[in-house]
Chain A
Amino acid sequence: MKMPEPDAAVMARQVEIAAALGTIVPDGVIADVDGVSPYGSDGLVMYRQSPLAVVLPRTTEQVSRVLAWCHANGVKVVARGSGTSLSGGALPLADGIVLGMARFNRILRVDYDNRCAVVQPGVTNLAVSQAIAHKGFYYAPDPSSQIACSIGGNVAENAGGVHCLKYGTTSPNLLGVELVLIDGTVLRLGGPGQEQAGYDLLGLVCGSEGLLGVVTEATVRILPKPATQRALLLGFPSVADASDCVAAIIAAGIIPAGLEMMDAPAIRAAEDFVQAGYPTDVAALMIAEADGSAAEVDDQLARITQIAKAHNCTHLRASTDEAQRLLFWAGRKAAFPAVGRIASDYYCVDGTIPRRQLGAVLGEISAIVARHGLGVANVFHAGDGNLHPLVMYDASVPGQTAAAEAAGAAILKACVDAGGVLTGEHGVGVEKRDLMEHQFSAIDLAVQSRLKCAFDAHGLLNPGKLFPTLSRCAEMNAMHVHGGRLPFPELPRF
């Protein structure tokens, strides 16, 4: 992975930079080799790079002053939440600082009347739900990493979870942010209301992977916990039967709270790991969850059962109590570490396809990994067509890391070729950056990357991520000066 050429002049100023930032955040700057090392990579462990320094601010004012200083001094900044990104979004730059948001760890306000919570970005996803559980509320987006990942990271990645078919990813559950721009400007976008005036800048910031600003506060929507939650465990003799069943459930007008699927290798790995009682003689396993009032849940599960039987379902169990429901989920939620037990390393790929292409794309995934001499286990957010092939490899065998990366790239291209997209929830980061041209035209990419100029004209916030090349903003400002006399058609500025 090629990162932008580090600026030697900036690197030479490391001591001075750390000292200057230390005056803004006393006892919050780490600049020694051992100290910065834990920040050298995120959940995409294939890549590692130590930053110039790590700065750990506590207040919005400190964030604003740090960013303004970096802006004035041409120093790049990578914001970091909990470092669980699977796309290298939080990978440091050799000539930049890491702005660690872990000290922003407070829940500031819970407003039950308006159903929102105002939280600092370093609060973990699960902590939000835990803090409001006593009032019968929860925060709906539930990424599998929820015990560790931060709300700031969730906002930056527009993170999803197993319940987002019904409840949405982070963006529909985000009502407002406080955002600090690279020049130190502090903005408020949205708030406890359900609509903001003007452009949907909040929607643009959500999922912008730390390229547009640093989130220092988030207002999230909270919901009353469902009165009833029950799950079905459904086994099928083929992936085709299972995916036809998913389509039939949705076509019947049912939006389950969760609709997850695993293939045979993933089922076996999960069952060996957590003994969830999964049948190991089926080719595909589905977990369908219904939530709501008891009447709605009973009705939905009865209809799903009927549909599943019509699609050759060979194994069917309904959870009878909460412990059993959680057990059904335990295997799915532990699928990643379970695969981690049977392979020395695994690489989690994340693409979305139109669901009807599932069978074809799965066939292609098998062919791709076989071509690279590797194995694969598949888990899917089946309801919304989001695939997570876990490509198994051994980093200690020369060439296998590269093979896994190549297989991942080929799988994502296959997703795009099937009418899908490169990433459903993990983000582009550095991982999929160079594949963006496979999905978007040069113009599409130019329009997107140009937006960065409105927020960060010098490209100091998380450069080298998301876009293969950034637009040169000065050039565009110059064009703007000429007003209505632009040279058309404009060539994309790469």
Chain B
Amino acid sequence: MACRPATTEQLAEVIRDAAAHGRSLAVSGSGSRPGIGPGPAEADLDLTGLGGSIDHDPAELLLTLPASAPLDHVERLLAQSGQCLAFEPPSPDAIWGLGHGTIGGAIASGLSGPRRPFAGACRDHVLGLSGVTGRGEILTAGGKVLKNVTGFDLPRLLTGSRGTLAVLTQITLKVLPLAPAQATLLLPADTPAKAVRIMADALMIDGGITGAAWSEGAVQLRIEASAAVLPALVDAARARLPAGQLIEGDASRALWAAIASLHGHARADEIIWRCPLPASRAPALAALLPPAARLRLDWAGALAWVLLPASAADLDVHALVAQAAGREGHAERLRGDGPIPARAPLEPGVAALSARVKALFDPAGILSPAAAPGGAA
């Protein structure tokens, strides 16, 4: 069963009704991120009918838009005035092949791309939100200004909450200038340990570095700046780092789009695990992986992607991350199936607190119950 409200009031009505009857709803923007999607529920909540206008004010660095706005459309719109979503959300299309998704989905999933260590995470760019709680209340949180500490920080709590606390309808984002020119240095590094060292050294160089990743025996280091300044920054970086190849302009852009969403990195049938952890622990994780596993690093080593063939579906990546990084890392399977749960249980005290938070927003437990922390994902 599916329902497709056309207004926020109708959405609230649908949710109130579902709550009153204890009927669970699968909340999703356009179904583009099935791996971290709502999971099974008694009815599908189709949000594509909730439109609205887009208000982009480049001089204020503000963008307010309906949650249903298509992500690729938003990125093109921002590019026209030389701006971007600085957290560089991964394109779901490359991972799941089901379209580019909505901005609401990008915010609710909370995933950040390669620029995360340099420009901040998804949650750091969400200034305000409107939505409907699991009680059917129409809620506005945060504001439409760059700096705001008024009240509890609900925008951060709701970002990445996977639609399990409230259904987002409108979002205000901080948008930032996109440097007009870029280049990527490819630096040979045959082991994750060497790669992490090179990336740590590179990050000591002050000069436009906005990406540090590793795959296939090479560190990729992105430098962004104005066209006038870029050559000087590239020279400065080259002077301090091992010799390597230079990739410029659109080729560099394509390379980073691929890194963000593993396009061309993950084979079509590979299982994808995403593992944030302290960069210094990435080599330890690498050492624990079986030969069939392939590893990609981003965030200067603080994000490990583990790619597995179907034959290794029973590899307990949670246990490996725990062994490598203790409680300081975690893993989530974004794509593929297997006997291992996609997410590991939270530490008991945090799990209990999370369950209380969930119950306050959604006492009947109807919003994407399988996606809630501790839900049966």
Contact = CB atoms under 8 A, between A and B. Distances in A.
Interface string B106-141: 000010100011001101100000000101111111
B364 A483 contact: yes
* Residue in A164, A185, A295, A423 with the greatest tally of chain B CB atoms within 10 Å: A295
A450 B134 CA distance: 14
Contacts of B347: 187-188
A189 B350 contact: yes
A452 to B, nearest CB: 8
B346 A193 contact: no
A296 B207 contact: yes
Given A200-B123, A486-B364, A193 B278 contact: yes
A443 B139 contact: yes
Given A188-B347, A195-B121, A454-B356, A486 B19 contact: yes
A228 to B, nearest CB: 8
Contacts of A486: 19-20, 135, 363-364
Contacts of A425: 147, 149
B137 A421 contact: no
A198 B149 contact: no
A381 B63 CA distance: 21
A227 B206 contact: yes
B245 interface: no
A198 B120 contact: no
Given A447-B137, A488-B136, A354 B60 contact: yes
- Name the interface size band of chain B: 35 or more
Contact of A352 (B138, B145, B180, B373): B145
Contacts of A199: 157, 160-161, 165, 354, 357-358, 373
A466 B151 contact: yes
A372 B208 CA distance: 50
Given A193-B302, A296-B229, A356-B60, A490 B135 contact: yes
A8 B83 CA distance: 58
Contacts of A443: 137-139
A203 B157 contact: yes
Contacts of B151: 428, 436, 439-440, 445, 448, 466
Contacts of B83: 253
Interface string A435-465: 0100111011111101101110000000000
B302 A224 contact: no
Nearest to A248: B59
A484 B207 contact: no
B10 interface: no
A126 B27 CA distance: 45
B139 A193 contact: no
Interface string A4-47: 00000000000000000000000000000000000000000000
Interface stretch (A204-212, A233-241, A327-335, A402-410): A204-212
Given A168-B120, A444-B141, A484-B20, A197 B207 contact: no
A430 B328 CA distance: 37
A164 B117 CA distance: 16
A206 B361 CA distance: 20
Given A193-B329, A194-B276, A440-B140, A353 B145 contact: yes
A340 interface: no
B55 to A, nearest CB: 11
A484 to B, nearest CB: 3
Given A171-B156, A488-B136, A490-B135, A424 B363 contact: no
A473 B303 CA distance: 39
A45 to B, nearest CB: 21
B354 A198 contact: yes
Given A114-B280, A488-B16, A194 B302 contact: yes
B333 interface: no
A158 interface: yes
Interface of A: 111, 113-115, 136, 157-158, 160, 164-165, 168-169, 171-172, 181, 185-189, 191-201, 203-204, 206-208, 224, 226-228, 247-248, 250-251, 253-255, 292-293, 295-296, 299, 352-356, 381, 383-386, 419-428, 432, 436, 439-441, 443-448, 450-451, 453-455, 466, 476, 479-480, 483-486, 488-490
Given A200-B161, A352-B143, 9 more contacts: A114-B278, A169-B149, A172-B121, A203-B153, A208-B153, A250-B61, A295-B225, A454-B353, A485-B22
28 contacts: A113-B200, A168-B124, A187-B350, A197-B343, A199-B358, A199-B373, A200-B157, A200-B159, A201-B350, A207-B153, A226-B206, A250-B60, A293-B207, A293-B208, A293-B233, A293-B236, A295-B229, A354-B60, A421-B148, A424-B145, A425-B147, A425-B149, A432-B150, A440-B140, A440-B151, A445-B151, A466-B151, A476-B363
